[in-house]
Amino acid sequence: QKEVEQNSGPLSVPEGAIASLNCTYSDRGSQSFFWYRQYSGKSPELIMSIYSNGDKEDGRFTAQLNKASQYVSLLIRDSQPSDSATYLCAVNTGYSNQFYFGTGTSLTVIP
């Protein structure tokens, strides 16, 4: 079982819609959670970090964490074509130095 799992997609949404990206993790002791955006051929760019159950909002982005169900999600409101990228979920267990990354979900926003 992989530590972090994401649906690889591709996920397509029309411009202006809400894009919903999901991630599940296997280690119940995980303590910190991150969403990165990676454009093709570029490096990962940190979008959001979340440490507590519930929602965390930053502009058009909302991260949601549910530790009981072991999932974390990212909502992108008013999606723009420039949001088209691969979104990586990363998890840190707290007793390891590693960030465990999912393989990413490819998002395409259609104008």
Partner 1 sequence: NAGVMQNPRHLVRRRGQEARLRCSPVKGHSHVYWYRQLPEEGLKFMVYLQKENIIDESGMPKERFSAEFPKEGPSILRIQQVVRGDSAAYFCASSKRGGLNEQFFGPGTRLTVL
Residues forming contacts to partner 1 in the complex (CB under 8 A) are: 4, 31-32, 34, 36, 42-46, 49, 51, 88, 90, 92, 94, 96-104
Least distance CB 100 / partner 1 (angstroms): 8
- By beta-carbon proximity to partner 1, the closer residue of 59 and 94 is 94
Least distance CB 36 / partner 1 (angstroms): 8
| Cβ proximity of 13 and 109 under 8 Å | yes
Which amino acid does the sequence have at 55? D
Least distance CB 103 / partner 1 (angstroms): 4
| Cβ proximity of 1 and 26 under 8 Å | yes
Closest to 64 (Cα-Cα) out of 22, 108, 19: 22
